[in-house]
Chains A and B, each alone.
Chain A
């Protein structure tokens, strides 16, 4: 069935380190892929989304490429800052209608100053 897999539950980095959060998805259709970020005490915020395969989305220094070949949508950032500490959720929506969103289990990022 449809699913989103994030293998990393927690990631701890120092400021200016390179960030890589793994995300793979499973579906038979043509999904739109998302990354949401949830800061402590807040609801999830949309970070970026990509609708078309092989395209890249970027926002606030974060980027992710929709790779249909490997069914992946990994999140990267060249140089993380303390303010990036949050939980990052990879998500998928198949199609353009009112289908459900599927979320990964989230990756908690802690950036040490």
Chain B
């Protein structure tokens, strides 16, 4: 079956520092990967959509300078939160899309970021 692994599951960083999170698709080819942030106050905020052979598309309020993403192959993606501050706290979800299954989005368990 299609599985998506994210690591680390939880991380704490000091204000102003950066942290990197990873996303691994197992059992299918992730032709596109969507990174979301889920905070206690809001539902899913789409950060960016990364599609193979296309430029990464960032949503409004999110930039490559703040959330650089790497999507080097069909099974792996990583995102870094640069200069993290309190407002960056939340659960970061990776959704990998399987083009062989009607482009269904499969999520990992998320990386929960806390900022001190």
Contacts and interface: CB of A to CB of B under 8 A. Distances in A.
Contacts of B6: 43
Contacts, number: 51
Given A42-B109, A49-B104, A93-B103, A100 B46 contact: yes
A39 to B, nearest CB: 10
B108 A46 contact: no
Contacts of B34: 100-101
A28 interface: no
B44 interface: yes
A43 B109 contact: yes
A106 B43 contact: yes
Q: How large is the interface on B (under 10, 10 to 19, 20 to 34, 35 or more residues)?
A: 20 to 34
A51 B103 CA distance: 11
A105 B102 contact: no
Contact of B44 (A32, A98, A103): A103
Contacts of B103: 32, 93, 96-98
Interface in A79-95: 89, 91, 93
A45 interface: yes
Contacts of B44: 89, 103
Interface in B88-116: 93, 95, 97, 102-110
B11 to A, nearest CB: 15
Contacts of B102: 32, 49, 51, 96
A100 B36 CA distance: 11
A10 to B, nearest CB: 14
B49 interface: yes
A44 B93 contact: yes
B43 A44 contact: no
